Amino acid sequence: MPFASSTLALTVASSCLLQPVTRPLTDLERMAAETLPHPRQVAWQQLEFTCFVHFGVNTFTGREWGTGEEDPAIFNPTDLDCDQWVTEAKNAGMKLVMLTAKHHDGFCLFQSNYTEHDVGSSPWKGGKGDVMAELAEACRRHDLKLGFYLSPADLHAIHANIYGNQSEPTKSLIPTPVPGVEHEGPHFEYVVDDYNRYFLNQLYELLTRYGPISEVWFDGANPRPGTGQTYDYKAWYDLIRKTQPQAVIAIKGPDVRWCGNEAGQTRAAEWSVIPIGGTSDNWTWPDMTDADLGSMARIEETLAEGGTLHWYPAETDTSIRHGWFWRDEEQHVRPADEMFDVWERSVGGNTVLLLNVPPDRRGLFADRDVEVLREVGRQVQRTYSRNLAAGSGVTISDTSTAEGPASLLDADPSTAWRAPDGVRSAGIVLNLPEKQRFNRVVLQEDIARFGQRVERYSIDVWLGNRWYEVARGTTVGSRRIVRLPLTEAERVRVRIIAARVSATLSEVGLYRSVE
């Protein structure tokens, strides 16, 4: 992503690239351009900024990874307030809150019928509390989406001889009957071993008790390798699809991939159309950390070896603190300017930003974290609440969509300009009503209808009597934020230098950040 610098680097730009450039289409290129997201993936991508909440026994021990042998009595927040979490997340512009319902230590922040290693065995609210229930209710009140993380790894289950006990898979009813407990919801049957039965039962509890779930998050962390335990992902995915079909399955799942790091960084070219080394039915969804995941060269190579194309967008996860759990108030909290930078890189780099904000031992977001969240929200609003290109005249090359040029400034990412098939290079000129000073250019594609097509673009400004190039980049996708030094112009040109099948954009915006 282009970065701001103290001076504007100007390169004389060609004045002829408004003329469409065509070449014959290939089957592979068309296949890549026509790989589209599922509606649940579109809804997830539109969230853009979401909140991870790491909370549990680790909060009270100062550990990042627990042992599984913690006494539930240590979990006793004095002032837990999920309304505070949700309010501050919303103030920052977040649209979903995701709770670590169970971390690797196995302690559950919900009332489970399948373990005593949960909030029901803690002194908090006399053993009657349920963090997941309180969060679900707070999200409903404040109109935010809800998600949860259920750790596949479970150290407590190892100590209880449930995890890795080499048990044989048997036909199992989910939810498994428990004496004195009535299950009114649907029942499912799977052939699974002891731990997968245990996991499916807890997954069922989370999926059926707390209303609509928008994201279910699994990771590949394994604090105790060598147990021999395997995970029946197909059964897990099946249960999610049958009970919460609108929920994306993230990271170790088919809907959302990890960006590849926990530092808040994205690739220069972040593709959502990804070649995988199998089919979606048999792929194991490993972490993808290569710099190039979706170029046409990578696609051609993978498909030649029997792979397939899959819409697999990235999620950028990072923490507001150094560490995922709250430890103490000596712990470093990243400043607002740094977090706004991460927001622009990730949201503006075709990913969703999942920012972790860990509650303290009171059960509250700490004051320093709240201050940062509020300032990030203010910076986002100050910068992106008004499109300085609104009201511009638009000159554009041929279009094959009914919306045409006006769609680029209508603040509706579901409308788009698109050139005819085969026209991969084209230009868009914004004739502003008056000179504007700006340092951000935002580009978007209509991913729901046209997938991800733009491979390379450039930004030009008209100064004097000629065009000067001020930035160039690679992919666009859901949103690309191009950061510039402060620039003044009354004509701005976006050149689509290369695209798959046809040049297209849904939105163009000019904005100014006060730096």
Pairwise CA distance, residues 449 & 37, whole Å: 9
Pairwise CA distance, residues 86 & 94, whole Å: 9
Pairwise CA distance, residues 61 & 272, whole Å: 39
SS3 category, 237: helix
Kindly tell me the burial class for residue 219, based on how many C-beta atoms sit within 10 Å of its own C-beta (0-12, 13-18, 19 or more): middle
Q: For residues 140 and 90, is the Cβ–Cβ distance under 8 A?
A: no
Pairwise CA distance, residues 309 & 284, whole Å: 15
Neighbours of 303 (CB within 10 A): 17
Pairwise CA distance, residues 341 & 338, whole Å: 5
Q: What is the pTM of this model?
A: 0.95
For the chain, the structural domain boundaries read 48-272+313-385, 387-511
Residues in the chain: 515
Q: For residues 480 and 447, is the Cβ–Cβ distance under 8 A?
A: no
Q: Helices 194-209 and 233-243, interaxial angle, to 10°?
A: 20
Domain made up of 48-272+313-385: CATH architecture: Alpha-Beta Barrel (3.20)
Determine the pLDDT at residue 39.
Answer: 98
Cis omega (within 30 of 0) for bond into 275? no
Pairwise CA distance, residues 83 & 482, whole Å: 35
Q: pLDDT below 70 — which residues of the chain? A: 1-10, 12, 14-23, 398, 402, 515
Residue 104's nearest CA partner among 65, 133, 162 is 65
Pairwise CA distance, residues 186 & 174, whole Å: 9
Q: For residues 409 and 379, is the Cβ–Cβ distance under 8 A?
A: no
Which residue type occupies 431?
N
Helix (H) or strand (E) holding 214: none
Q: What are phi and psi of 74, to 5 degrees?
A: -75, -20
Which residue type occupies 307?
G
Return the DSSP state at 504: E
Domain made up of 387-511: CATH architecture: Sandwich (2.60)
Q: For residues 97 and 137, is the Cβ–Cβ distance under 8 A?
A: no
